Amino acid sequence: MRRLLVIDDHPAVMEGTKAILETNQDFLVDCLSPEASEQFLTKHDFSAYDLILMDLNLGEINGMDLSKKILETCSSCKIIVYTGYEVEDYFEEAIRSGMHGAISKTESKEKIIEYIYQVLDNKIVVDYDYLKDLITKQKTKSSSQETQHDVLTERERLILKEVEKGYTNQEIADALHLSKRSIEYSLTSVFNKLNVGSRTEAVLIAKSEGVL
């Protein structure tokens, strides 16, 4: 029996995911809605689980940051980003953070279960088109040596252009027809790629390196 943990702030999503996964008799699934407190990590034994499905948007809590904290206390934990956002936007950051990939909540039951089994077998499943695009970008980056920074996605460039105009996250979200949380996650990715700590730094570095 494999023990799985679903961390999400929406009870309906947690229970729905639990019901889907437990159609497989090999899975025993627990659900957990995180709380914004220092005691959260010490109250739960995450090492008891073979795998954790982690939502990104957890209200006041960032799922990516929570995963990093869990991995600091339990490096052997296998965590998958389980999101309703575009998986490609967070896959690379998830891997760099020590997680085992990302999968969309909209995928079929069969694909989600197969993905989980692959991760339990210490494998990471990467979409072919995404991997091909990533390799192409890395080759271009290596040959041109235009910048030491990671290539920004088209969405990240669009968001950074709006930041340059002085717009708030909510104004950018409205302009690009995205959620505010999606903008926040994208900016976190931009900060990590450019190795900066603020919106102003991100714009300055991106322009100086020709990324923007």
User: Which domains occur in the chain, in start order?
Assistant: 2-128 (3.40.50.2300), 144-209 (1.10.10.10)
pTM for this predicted structure: 0.65
Average pLDDT rounded to a whole number, residues 8-15: 93
Q: How far is the C-alpha of 63 from the C-alpha of 83, rounded, in Å?
A: 10
pLDDT tens digits, one per residue of 55-112: 988 877 888 889 999 999 898 999 999 998 888 778 888 888 889 999 999 999 999 9
In whole angstroms, how large is the CA radius of gyration of the chain? Answer: 18
Structure confidence at residue 208 as a pLDDT band (50, 70, 90): confident
pLDDT tens digits, one per residue of 175-192: 999 898 899 999 999 988
Q: What percent of the chain has pLDDT over 90?
A: 48
Residue 83 contacts residue 104 (beta carbons within 8 Å): yes
Query: Six-digit token pair at 117?
Result: 């089994």
